[in-house]
Structure 1
Amino acid sequence: SFRLQMTLENMNHLKFIPHKDYTANRLVSGLLQLPSNTSLVIDETLLEQGQLDTPGVHNVAALSNLITWQKVDYDFSYHQMEFPCNINVLITSEGRSLLPADCQIHLQPQLIPPNMEEYMNSLLSTVLPSVLNKFRIYLTLLRFLDYSISDEITKAVEDDFVEMRKNDPQSITADDLHQLLIVARFLSLSAGQTTLSRERWLRAKQLESLRRTRLQQQKCVNGNEL
């Protein structure tokens, strides 16, 4: 994983995309030149008031391009080339993000410690490194499991989607169905199940309903609409 602190200083001065140095005749790496399957955590809560310079605007565009299209530009001065990537992106922000996102979730913490960093460090200190390593192995193996949806469940999903469209034709789209299927897949695999069950599908729908309800309840955070 890689954490990007989205401060004005970093956005205006860091090099996000690789560029060709013709004097040294080599390619200079950029921050977004990350290994496949990297989890990129963007901390937008650190973004203070101020102005993005031209490099900062270009860096925001580079992040948006990576998130939306999973592509990173390589700057060869006279032209740019796009290279595909496979980066998972998580954005933390206090309101609506500057960056595009497929899914927005308004967090409702049940516990707010006075010092979050100390609290998290205390939690991590109680978990043995061997246990953490088992978690990593478990999550890695889940990516390689075969996954399928039976004809029966496919029909049930189609019927549910038709009903959802009937009840809310303005906001329910094919993209929402795609997102629900992704959530259902992750729920199934996290439980070690390689086929989608009716139970997991209903749980995915429930989570999506809760997510939408939270966003409706929290129309505005710190002056930024969600």
Structure 2
Amino acid sequence: MMSSLQLSDGTVVVLDETSLEPGQVGTEGVTNLAALNSLMSLQKVPYDFGFYKMDFEVDHPTISLSARGSVVPAGAVVPVVVDACGGTSSGSEDQALLARLRIYLEATRRTELSLDDKSSALAEEDFVKARQQGQAVTGEDFHRMLTIARLTALSLGDEAMTASHWSHMKDLEARVAARVQQLASGATTGGRRTAAGGGVPAAAAAAPAAGATPISPGGQAGPLNAIPENE
């Protein structure tokens, strides 16, 4: 039987959790949630052949949209601020933009990225300093930060991650943390959850991109299960 997750590599999976309501999850639902968890956290899809089960590695960038907390794990959680005053464009302009975006995304996904010794040392130093200061930074956090820094470099068309990319990643992390705190504050006080720029933010959970294999402090590729490979 054809599975909803039986897709070609590179297919983006978007999970819409915005309409979920409290209720009971049956046996089939639990199995489906387990499959989604495997997809998000390991980039593996389980197959049940009746006589035996087997996991297959996939390349499915996955995004989960939720108005509250997500029911599936994620490598990154970002409160999204919706701009209600966004402009509109004609259909032809939209198609032209989509065509350019597809070329851009394909090019960045296929770009090989290197990590020099200076950038690696800076990342390690930041990680050690954070641990010494008592911050709750885990090895998985470190892998995720390196992944985002590498994605930053790739998004700019660069072939090497530098200190500027690492600094930009830290700025992004601070901005996300500020949004998360603002969202939590709005929920606590019972007020309307809004953020700068207007609009009610929704949480977008994503797994990092296939071109962003986790890098260990020594510059080698980290384990596949250290952080999801797709975003």
- 1:146 paired with 2:112, answer yes
- 1:72 paired with 2:45, answer yes
Q: Deviations over 1:158-206 (max 9, x none)?
A: 212222222243x211211111111111111111111112211101011
Q: Deviations over 1:97-142 (max 9, x none)?
A: 1111121112233x236xxxxx79x447362423321210111011
Structure 2: unaligned runs, 5 residues or longer: 189-202, 204-231
Match of 2:35 among 54, 62, 86: 62
More moved, 173-182 vs 46-55: 46-55
1:62-101 pair list within 5 angstroms = 62-101=35-74
| Separation in 1, partners of 2:150, 2:12 | 19
Is contact 1:36–1:86 with CA below 8 Å preserved after alignment?
yes
Match of 1:112 among 75, 84, 93: 84
| Separation in 1, partners of 2:133, 2:177 | 15
Structure 1: unaligned runs, 5 residues or longer: 1-27, 114-118
Structure 2 vs 1, CA of residues 168 and 39 (structure 1 numbering), >3 Å: closer, same or farther?
farther
| Separation in 2, partners of 1:214, 1:166 | 26
- Residue type matched to 2:27 in 1? T
CA drift of 1:51 comes to: 2.8
- 1:39 paired with 2:12, answer yes
| Separation in 2, partners of 1:192, 1:158 | 24
C-alpha RMSD of matched pairs (Å): 2.3
1:125 corresponds to which residue? 91
The alignment of Structure 1 onto Structure 2 pairs a total of residues equal to 189
- 1:136 paired with 2:109, answer no
2:79 match: secondary structure: coil
Structure 2 vs 1, CA of residues 75 and 222 (structure 1 numbering), >3 Å: closer, same or farther?
farther
1:176 corresponds to which residue? 141
CA drift of 1:219 comes to: 2.5
**Which has the higher Rg, Structure 1 or Structure 2?**
1
2:7 match: secondary structure: coil
Structure 2 vs 1, CA of residues 92 and 59 (structure 1 numbering), >3 Å: closer, same or farther?
same
Is contact 1:72–1:84 with CA below 8 Å preserved after alignment?
yes
| Separation in 2, partners of 1:37, 1:220 | 37
Greater relative contact order (Cα < 8 A, sep 6+):
2
- Residue type matched to 2:29 in 1? G
| Separation in 2, partners of 1:162, 1:168 | 10
- Residue type matched to 2:84 in 1? I
Identity of aligned residues (%): 32
Give the TM-score, by structure 2 length.
0.73
- 1:190 paired with 2:155, answer yes
